[in-house]
Amino acid sequence: MGGVIYDIPTNQVLIRGEAIILLKTILNLLSIAATHGGPDLSMITLTLRCEGGQDVLADTDDGVGIPADKHINAISGFRQTDSGQGAGQWGGIANCRAGNGK
């Protein structure tokens, strides 16, 4: 894998919440992408931006992705999905979405 790009605003962003939970959320997002991105994964981008008064932390990568028919399972708690790489591949994504209580 080539690396991780951090796309963060130049102005200060204040995020209220538990620092350890935010850290675990970020590590979980990166771990899921790195572990399950497939053999051609070369880059993960972690972006922090403000949308409509809400701070949004998002990750994108050039890995294999989640098949469209598995999206609901991937973001709906710890349901098992099968990507051909093993069941439960995206089990932590829902936890990341709620990671800091938002």
When the candidates are 3.40.50.1820, 3.60.20.10, 3.10.150.10, 3.30.565.10, the CATH number that belongs to 3-97 is 3.30.565.10
For residues 64-85, one letter each, b for 16 or more C-beta atoms within 10 angstroms of the residue's C-beta and e for the rest, the string is bebeeebeebbeeeeeebebee
pLDDT of residue 9: 85
pLDDT in tens, 4-13: 888 988 887 7
pLDDT of residue 29: 84
pLDDT of residue 93: 55
Q: What pairing do the DSSP bridges indicate for beta strands 43-51 and 54-61?
A: antiparallel
